Structure 1
């Protein structure tokens, strides 16, 4: 496997883990704060806030996993 393909595969896996784990963390944070987006059928401010927490978790999780991947690449 050439290096470019290996790097792309590592970045894709890091992005996938970051999005999923970040979304779960954002959802759980929303539940803890009382903003349930997933379990509610309504579209009010609490649900929108819960959705924004999930989206912020996706971005933060991706950023964290990418930075961990960059750190891992520097040390190996």
Structure 2
């Protein structure tokens, strides 16, 4: 049986910040490219914009988890 560290409040906050930050980056990239996710209907530009938001959120979450792992594996300065 493998042991996983218990997630802490700091881990949850880091995940949330990474996800929201990445999603906002994807949203603003879509806006810059003219992909409005709030456009009426589900045209190609709206769907591409939605995909950019999802991709950005996933990448932001992944980056936050890699950062958390690197902090856990850093040797202490005791």
TM-score, reference length from structure 2: 0.80
What's the RMSD between the two structures over aligned residues? 1.6
Paired position in structure 1 for 2:66: 67
1:1-76 aligned at under 5 Å gives the runs 4=6, 7-38=7-38, 40-75=39-74, 76=76
Computing the radius of gyration from Cα coordinates, the structure with the larger value is: 2
SS in 1 for 2:40: coil
Uncovered stretches (5+) of structure 2, i.e. residues with no partner: none
1:8 positional shift:
2.7
Q: Which is helix-richer, 1 or 2?
A: 1
Aligned residues between the structures: 71
Moved over 2 A (4+): none
Alignment gaps of 5+ in structure 1: none
